[in-house]
Amino acid sequence: MARMIGSLLLLCGLQLVVGDVCPDDVEVDLCDTNPGEFSGSMGMTPNLTLLLIVLAFALPGRAKSWALLLPAVVLPSAVAGLSCGDVKEFYKTNQCCGSATMKELGTYPGAPTCPYNFQKPACSMAGPQTPRDLTANAPGDKVPKAITLTDTQANSLPLVNVHFHLGAEHKSEAYSDGTDSDAFDAGRRLATTGTVRPGWMCPTSSLNSTQLQAYTFQYCKGQVEVGKSYEIHYVHSSAGMDANDTDDVNADSLSDGLGGAANGRGLLNPMIVVQGQIFQIVNGAATVDDMLHGWTVVGHTDSVMYSGSTTGTSHDNSVCSPYAITWHVDKACHQVSPESFDNLCKQMKEMYGMDSDLYPHGSRILVDKQYVVKSEFVVPLS
């Protein structure tokens, strides 16, 4: 989410740049003890644009990129009514005076208040997470507070995004080979291994050299290879919109990423269902004509549903996802020809102009049992 405008870090000890009208010597002008000089509203507006730009370059890593976005977003409301006295008061109350070291502070004066906290929750506070271990009787501790949506309900939600992960994020009896993920986690990346974290793989032991022969993909990018398995996610969201906004749920408008799912049409609390299906790319395997428009093109008779969250490698067992999402996951491995898989990427690119989702996403580490639902809440899809 790029909409995090609630807090900007100001730094003590940083030269405040406030243009001609405001004092520019921090220690002398902002920290003097004469209460009359700059207190109260003097109707002077510091050059906050400059201030924010300077701050943006002084800030570390992540905060910097947000701050660079801030002037345009924040200034119109922030500058109005902000006086030098406010800045001085802020500097003082945050005990910057006399502090030579850089110190991170909270919200700057005049900042708009944001009704939402977009910080990702600690797992101890978060709702039930995904991916869950789906092997029989795998334990979990959580009782879901959100209802799990059914297959019929999922089908009333427009498809907003399709993407795939290298390896399965979930684990089932059929996809349980952790050789690649173990190697990745141990830092033993193979020469052929890319940068994304692999998940669980379908077995390759019964495949012969013809079936495993390399294929040159024309449309899929990054680590898409014969023999590897991919968990495709079909994301359905009530915030979705069809191409011509006709309210026809079958006329989907797909795009890269999850922006359409989580904040489409301005909705902040959409209902989301993700259908997950695992495909192993094998030469000579079945041709599937349209893998893009849902998992209906191959059977998914061995599927379960449960309450979870978003996945991906920005979440693990300490930083959790803030979203409550229904999961429908097929526990079988489906073999598919490389041509069919490449055709999925071709459709994504040519029909919807997608690009970043032509690369496989990394797989989130299987979530610890204390952050996933109890096994009684993982039920056959209905």
Ligand X SMILES: *[C@@H]1O[C@H](CO)[C@@H](O)[C@H](O)[C@H]1NC(C)=O
Stretch of residues binding ligand X (CB under 6 A), selected from 25-33, 45-53, 194-202, 219-227: 45-53
- Residue 280 Cβ, how far from ligand X at the closest point, in Å? 14
* Under rule CB under 6 A, residue 244 binds ligand X: yes
Stretch of residues binding ligand X (CB under 6 A), selected from 141-149, 154-162, 239-247, 298-306: 239-247
Residues 368, 137 contacting (CB under 8 angstroms): no
- Residue 21 Cβ, how far from ligand X at the closest point, in Å? 8
Residues 328, 275 contacting (CB under 8 angstroms): yes
* Under rule CB under 6 A, residue 211 binds ligand X: yes
From 208, 216, 301, 382, residue interacting with ligand X (rule: CB under 6 A): 208
Q: Which long-range contacts (CB under 8 A, 24 or more apart) does 141-144 make?
A: 141/369, 141/370, 141/371, 141/372, 141/374, 142/370, 142/371, 142/372, 142/373, 142/374, 142/377, 143/373, 143/374, 143/377, 144/306, 144/307, 144/373, 144/377
Rounded to whole angstroms, the Cα distance separating 365 from 55 reads 36
With 0-12 CB in 10 A as exposed, 13-18 as middle and 19+ as buried, what is 234?
buried
Looking at beta carbons only, is 37 or 242 nearer to ligand X? Answer: 242
Looking at beta carbons only, is 137 or 244 nearer to ligand X? Answer: 244
From 5, 251, 267, 297, residue interacting with ligand X (rule: CB under 6 A): 251
* Under rule CB under 6 A, residue 47 binds ligand X: yes
Looking at beta carbons only, is 124 or 208 nearer to ligand X? Answer: 208
For 261, the token pair is: 């799912």
Looking at beta carbons only, is 53 or 63 nearer to ligand X? Answer: 53
Rounded to whole angstroms, the Cα distance separating 347 from 352 reads 7
SS (H, E, C) 192-216: CCCCCCCCEECCCCCCCCCCCCCCC
End-to-end Cα, the chain, rounded Å: 32
Binding mask 277-296 for ligand X (x = CB under 6 A): -------x------------
Neighbour count for residue 270 (Cβ, 10 Å)? 20
Residue 261: closest CA among 158, 151, 350: 158
From 137, 152, 192, 210, residue interacting with ligand X (rule: CB under 6 A): 210
Strands 303-308 and 159-166: unpaired
Looking at beta carbons only, is 101 or 210 nearer to ligand X? Answer: 210
From 49, 107, 135, 204, residue interacting with ligand X (rule: CB under 6 A): 49
From 50, 75, 97, 212, residue interacting with ligand X (rule: CB under 6 A): 50
Residues contacting residue 192 through CB under 8 Å, at least 6 positions apart? 225
Token pair 């069809």 in the structure block, residue: 242
Stretch of residues binding ligand X (CB under 6 A), selected from 35-43, 82-90, 147-155, 244-252: 244-252
From 5, 6, 14, 19, residue interacting with ligand X (rule: CB under 6 A): 19
* Under rule CB under 6 A, residue 243 binds ligand X: yes
Name which of residues 98 to 157 contact ligand X (CB under 6 A).
none
Stretch of residues binding ligand X (CB under 6 A), selected from 112-120, 182-190, 243-251, 328-336: 243-251
Looking at beta carbons only, is 151 or 242 nearer to ligand X? Answer: 242
Residues 144, 126 contacting (CB under 8 angstroms): no
Stretch of residues binding ligand X (CB under 6 A), selected from 22-30, 166-174, 207-215, 260-268: 207-215
Looking at beta carbons only, is 276 or 338 nearer to ligand X? Answer: 338
Stretch of residues binding ligand X (CB under 6 A), selected from 95-103, 206-214, 344-352, 364-372: 206-214
CA distance to 102, 117, 316, 326, per residue, from 59 (Å): 10, 21, 26, 38
* Under rule CB under 6 A, residue 54 binds ligand X: no
* Under rule CB under 6 A, residue 24 binds ligand X: no
- Residue 71 Cβ, how far from ligand X at the closest point, in Å? 9
Token pair 């790029």 in the structure block, residue: 2
Looking at beta carbons only, is 138 or 251 nearer to ligand X? Answer: 251
Token pair 């299906």 in the structure block, residue: 277
Which residues of the shown chain bind ligand X in the complex (CB under 6 A)?
Answer: 19, 47, 49-50, 208, 210-211, 242-244, 246, 251, 284
